Amino acid sequence: ETAVFQTPNYHVTQVGNEVSFNCKQTLGHDTMYWYKQDSKKLLKIMFSYNNKQLIVNETVPRRFSPQSSDKAHLNLRIKSVEPEDSAVYLCASSPHWGGRAEQFFGPGTRLTVL
Amino acid sequence: DAKTTQPDSMESTEGETVHLPCSHATISGNEYIYWYRQVPLQGPEYVTHGLQQNTTNSMAFLAIASDRKSSTLILPHVSLRDAAVYHCILRVAHNNNAPRFGAGTKLSVKP
């Protein structure tokens, strides 16, 4: 099956803990993204990678760090979670970088910080 | 990428044809119009896109105004499965920025 896969589906943790989310795409795409979707359902881009290279790094707190081992994988680590980090984190990929590239999204990882 | 404006919500009934509007008054000549939809507990799903000409695929028909300042996503004979949030976004062909999504239009479908 070719798609974008994310693990875990849900994660509940306490303030100050470290969490890691995994994303893998089997579509053969060059570009991957991490988005944060808040309670109002707005999607905000966090990071974009093209062929394992960081292309876009929006203004996100330093505790967030993306990790790419190859162009099919883009993980997200949060060093010390805060309550405002509670959200859905969506991973996406596209065939290549650039405005005409259609994006394919994973189902998301729902993070709750207590 | 230029900004888009969509209604917060729309209601429909199964079997109807639904017209979802999107305003993009400041669109520039090299910006494409993309539509995605998102159902609960899933990521956004690509629906269609266009530049100037109307486009059609198995999911929807995209009507683009001649001045390109607005577009309408037309969903024929909606079913309950079409209930979703529909996002209209603009993207420049060779832009280095990642796509940015607004709140979209929440489409409700009644039996």
Q: Report pLDDT digits (tens) over A28-39.
A: 999 999 999 988
pLDDT-derived band of residue A43, with 50, 70 and 90 as boundaries?
Answer: confident
CB atoms within 10 A of CB A76: 22
List CB contacts (< 8 A) between B99 and chain A.
45, 103
Q: What is the pLDDT of residues A67-92, one digit of tens each?
A: 998 999 999 999 999 999 999 999 99
Mutation to test the A interface, candidates B4, B100, B105, most A Cβ within 10 Å: B100
Residue A39 contacts B where some CB pair is shorter than 8 Å: no
pLDDT-derived band of residue B94, with 50, 70 and 90 as boundaries?
Answer: low
Q: How far apart are CA B94 and CA A96, in angstroms?
A: 11
Q: Which residue has the higher pLDDT, B72 or A43?
A: B72
Q: What is the pLDDT of residues B10-63, one digit of tens each?
A: 999 999 999 999 999 999 888 889 999 999 889 999 999 999 999 999 999 999
Percentage of the residues of chain B whose pLDDT score is greater than 90: 75
Task: Please tell me the predicted confidence (pLDDT) of residue A55.
Answer: 78
CB contact under 8 A, B98 and A104: no
Task: Check residue B42 and report its DSSP letter.
Answer: S
Identify the closest residue of chain B to A91 by CA–CA distance: B43
